[in-house]
Amino acid sequence: SENLLEVTGLKVHFPIRKGIVFDRTVGHVKAVDGISLGVSTGQTLGVVGESGCGKSTLGRAILRLEEPTSGTVKFNGQDITSLPAEKMRRLRRRMQMVFQDPLSSLDPRQSIESLLIEPLTVHGLAESDLEKIGRDSPANHRRKALNMLELVGLPASAMAKYPHEFSGGQRQRVGIARAMICSPDLVIADEPVSALDVSVQAQVINLLEDLQAELGVTYVVIAHDLAVVRHISDRIAVMYLGQVVEEAGSDELYEKPYHPYTVALMSAIPVPDPVVEDSRERILLEGDLPSPADPPSGCRFHTRCPWAREKCSQEDPELREIEPGRRVACHFAEEVAQKIADDREVEN
Ligand code: SF4
Ligand code: MG
């Protein structure tokens, strides 16, 4: 089917500035550095990578909350990269975002009712809702808000309450209801469960899945943890330093990873880290993520790759189609996949 979202050659480079009197650009952080991806209607694309790999910037650039440096974003066949602000504003209803931390994304002084109705006041009811519940009036906004609360599993009594009166998981339900209330076609969820207790993470992921089945919405779910996106995603894109290094159907990726970085993400052992606030952030590999302002030569992963050879620091591996519907950027992908398959056989 036709892709609802089509991203082609997307780059988001941020200038690094120095000097107070003579402000000059001394380099660029290549947060997103040439990404091409598609998501078809009603499907979920998982985007996975370490903190700092550019996945949040990618999500924000798709919604034009961040202006792309180059490349295109097509939504429903229309190139929105150069859309004037007014037209973009009208499209916003159809493209919404769920944030990591609902406590900081929800105004604490607003009641749940007011938080839910606000997007409707800004954008109005969607046409599909107008057909169902009639004209765009305060009473119908309230009906829609109540309906949405029920869909996210919160009682009607929640309307009069404030964000601090809820648990983290319930607050994220409010955040999701707020994103869904305008009946968007596309929702980008940036680390939707990473601020939540492990015990409620699955509930929120299940809620997102149920809402997709009910409303037919298309998702991009961003996470640093492959396990979080595994079940909800139809396809998964693995990002490293601003680029996609592997992309595949979710099951196929788990069945047969081709890229050494994907293998590392899969075998990562959770290590509590007292320095990182989110102690579930996993230590994936030896060494730090190199700076996206000055990425390594050749394959960007070569400084941390257990498979790296001479060729890797010299030649940038192209993102190539290795099997139908699968792309990977590694000179030695076939060898890696074979070794992983052999190792798995020995284990079993
Ligand atoms: Fe590792 Fe080389 Fe493949 Fe890059 S190209 S992932 S360094 S083996
Ligand atoms: Mg992020």
Who contacts 281 (Cβ-Cβ below 8 Å, separation ≥6)?
Answer: 51, 224, 273
What integer is the mean pLDDT of 251-259? 95
Give the ipTM.
Answer: 0.95
Alpha-helical segments (H) within 12-101: 55-62, 85-91
User: Ligand 1: which of 241, 314, 332 to mutate, most ligand atoms within 8 Å of CB?
Assistant: 332
Residue with tokens 């009603």: 42
Nearest alpha-carbon partner for 27 in 16, 41, 11:
16
Tell me the C-alpha distance between 138 and 141, whole Å: 5
pLDDT computed for residue 20 by the predictor = 67
Does the pLDDT of residue 189 top 70, yes or no?
Answer: yes
DSSP-derived pairing of the beta strands 70-75 and 243-249: unpaired
Is the backbone of residue 77 left (phi > 0), alpha (psi -120 to 50) or beta?
A: left
pLDDT at 86 over 80: yes
Q: Looking at ligand 1, which residue's alpha carbon is closest to its atom 6?
A: 330
Which of 312, 313, 339 maximizes ligand 1 atoms within 8 Å of its Cβ, making it the mutation to test the pocket? 312
3-347 is a CATH 3.40.640.10 domain: no
CB of 282 within 8 A of CB of 270?
yes
Q: Residue 145 pairs with which residues in a beta bridge?
A: none
Q: Report how far residue 73's alpha carbon sits from residue 5's, in angstroms, rounded to the nearest whole number.
A: 7
Q: Which of 69, 46, 76, 70 lies closest to 59, judged by CA?
A: 46
Output the residue whose Cα is nearest ligand 1's atom 7: 302
DSSP 296: P
Q: 190 is written with which tokens? A: 């940036």
* pLDDT tens-place string over residues 263-302: 999 886 444 444 434 434 444 567 778 988 889 999 999 9
- Confidence (pLDDT) at 278: 42
Q: How far apart are CA 333 and CA 344, in angstroms?
A: 17
Proportion of the chain above pLDDT 70, given as a percent: 93
Closest ligand to residue 281's CA: 2
How distant, in Å, are the alpha carbons of 57, 291, 299, 303 from that of 295?
Answer: 17, 6, 9, 10
CA-to-CA distance for 294 and 296, rounded, in angstroms?
7
C-alpha 55 – ligand 2 centre gap (Å):
6
Q: Which pLDDT does position 281 carry in this prediction?
A: 40
Say how many Å lie between the CA of residue 266 and the centre of ligand 1.
17
The answer to whether residue 98 scores a pLDDT higher than 50 is yes
